Amino acid sequence: MKKWFAFSAIFLSSYLVFLLANAPLSLVVNNIKLPRGIELHDVSGSIWQGEISRLWVNNYEIEKVQTSVSFWSLFSLSPNLQIVFGDAMLSGPEGKINLSVSSDQVVLSDMELIVSANDIAKQLPLPIPVKAQGHVELFLSELVVVTGEQLACSKAEGEVTWSRAGVVALEQNIKLGKFSSAISCDDGKLIAKLSPKNNLGLSFDGVLALKTQKVSGKGYLKPGAKFPSQLRSALSFIGRPDNQGRYQLKF
């Protein structure tokens, strides 16, 4: 009798695992209330290996999102989800993310993201019309977000780079060199601190408050010897310099 119960338990467990492994991803997605501004289109595959043809985040399109879940991570009560999206032949961003979720935090690790610099420029309140050239690359070794009563950044290590940066402004093709920012956390907020070693003499701190999803930033533009001559006529659009020759930037 005991052997019969044991075999029955093994059979039922195996059958449940089989059903779970073959459950369509669309069934899960359709029963989840997604955050505002997020839309999923053409969901296929299973919860273990799935694909989303198009993902919209606040009217920004991400194509060909592929997901995979580590079965063994379920036993640690911290499911691990691997996400790969985009393609060099497709428009929009491309990259990959490792995502681990527990009862009190979300951990992103080994994250790589490549996005068009112009897609970012379109979202910024710039004083003059600008078309940005090249791509911005984000590398995050780790980002820990606490998910208690409110979202808060607990730990972040990474870098954002814009190599061979350039813009088309005032009918001029202007080369800007390279920009790099260090990613960190401060008071629960995600911080991107731009290195002032750039041709514009730009120092800037970008801030994302996870609780409110509000983006803000402040810094200074201090034209030096490497400042592009084509942009000097546009400085008047920014305002007046202080007694150190700096133009304040804030949004």
Tell which residue, 32, 67, 23, has the closest CA to residue 49: 67
Q: What is the pLDDT of residue 24?
A: 65
Q: In this structure, are strands 172-186 and 105-116 parallel, antiparallel, or unpaired?
A: unpaired
Alpha-carbon dihedral angle through residues 206, 151, 75, 73, given to the nearest 10 degrees: -20
* Alpha carbon distance 83, 55 (integer Å): 12
pLDDT tens digits, residue range 108-147?
999 999 999 998 888 777 777 888 998 999 999 999 999 8
Task: Give the confidence band of 5 by pLDDT, cuts at 50, 70, 90.
Answer: very low
Q: What is the pLDDT of residue 2?
A: 43
Among 24-28, 64-68, 150-154, 193-197, the range scoring the smallest mean pLDDT is 24-28
Q: What is the pLDDT of residue 96?
A: 94
- Quick one: tokens of 97? 């993310």
- Quick one: tokens of 203? 């120092």
Q: Three-state SS across 177-229?
A: EEEEEEEEEECCEEEEEECCCCCCCEEEEEEEECCCCEEEEEEEECCCCCCCH
In this predicted model, which residue has the larger pLDDT, 5 or 135?
Answer: 135
pTM above 0.85, yes or no: no
Is pLDDT above 80 for 99? yes
Is pLDDT above 50 for 107? yes
CA 176 to chain centre: 24
pLDDT tens digits, residue range 19-67?
455 556 666 667 666 667 778 888 888 777 888 888 887 778 888 989 8
